[in-house]
Amino acid sequence: MPKRIDHTGIMVRDINASITFYEEVLGMKLKDRITHTNGVIELAFLGFEDGPETEIELIQGYSSELPAEGKVHHIALLTDDIAAEYTKAEKMNAKFIDEEITTLPNGYRYFYIEGPDGEWIEFFQR
Q: Which residues of 18-44 are buried (b: 16+ CB within 10 A; e: fewer)?
A: bbeebeeeeebeeeeeeebeeeebbbb
Q: Which of these is catalytic: 55, 57, 85, 122?
A: 122
Q: Give backbone dihedrals phi and psi of 87, rounded to 5 degrees, phi first.
A: -60, -45
Task: Count CB neighbours of 6 within 10 A.
Answer: 24
Active site annotation includes 85: no
Catalytic positions: 122
